[in-house]
A and B are shown apart, each in its own frame.
Chain A
Amino acid sequence: DVKVTQSSRYLVKRTGEKVFLECVQDMDHENMFWYRQDPGLGLRLIYFSYDVKMKEKGDIPEGYSVSREKKERFSLILESASTNQTSMYLCASSLESLGNEQYFGPGTRLTVT
Chain B
Amino acid sequence: QKEVEQDPGPLSVPEGAIVSLNCTYSNSAFQYFMWYRQYSRKGPELLMYTYSSGNKEDGRFTAQVDKSSKYISLFIRDSQPSDSATYLCASFAGGTSYGKLTFGQGTILTVHP
Q: A99-B49, A100-B99, A101-B49 are in contact. Are A40 and B42 (CB under 8 A)?
A: no
Determine the distance from Cα of A100 to Cα of B98 in the docked complex, in whole angstroms. Answer: 8
Determine the distance from Cα of A104 to Cα of B32 in the docked complex, in whole angstroms. Answer: 18
Q: Point out the residues of chain B lying under 8 angstroms from A107, CB to CB.
A: 41-43
| Count of chain B residues with a beta carbon within 8 Å of a chain A beta carbon | 22
- What's the nearest-Cβ distance from chain B to residue A40, in Å? 6
Q: Point out the residues of chain B lying under 8 angstroms from A33, CB to CB.
A: 99-100
Which one of A90, A102, A106 lies within 8 Å of B46 (CB-CB)? A102
Interface residue? B6 (CB, 8 A): yes
- What's the nearest-Cβ distance from chain B to residue A92, in Å? 8
| Count of chain A residues with a beta carbon within 8 Å of a chain B beta carbon | 26
Determine the distance from Cα of A90 to Cα of B104 in the docked complex, in whole angstroms. Answer: 15
Interface residue? A48 (CB, 8 A): yes
Within 8 A of A (CB), among B70-113: 88, 92, 97-101, 103-106
Q: Point out the residues of chain A lying under 8 angstroms from B103, CB to CB.
A: 42-43
Considering the complex, give the chain B residue whose CB is closest to the CB of A100. B99
Per-position binary interface string of chain A over residues 1-20, scored 1 when its CB falls under 8 Å from any chain B CB and 0 otherwise: 00010000000000000000
Q: Name which of A94, A101, A102, A106 has the most chain B CB atoms within 10 A of its CB.
A: A102
Q: Point out the residues of chain A lying under 8 angstroms from B6, CB to CB.
A: 42
Q: Point out the residues of chain B lying under 8 angstroms from A106, CB to CB.
A: 41-43
Q: Are B8 and A56 in contact (CB under 8 A)?
A: no
Determine the distance from Cα of A50 to Cα of B88 in the docked complex, in whole angstroms. Answer: 23
Interface residue? B65 (CB, 8 A): no
By a beta-carbon cutoff of 8 Å, the part of chain B in contact with chain A is 6, 8, 32, 34, 41-46, 49, 88, 92, 97-101, 103-106
By a beta-carbon cutoff of 8 Å, the part of chain A in contact with chain B is 4, 31, 33, 40-43, 45, 48, 50, 56, 58, 90, 92, 94-96, 99-107
Between A and B, 12 residue pairs with Cβ closer than 8 Å are A33-B99, A42-B103, A48-B100, A50-B99, A90-B43, A90-B44, A95-B99, A99-B32, A100-B92, A102-B46, A102-B99, A105-B43
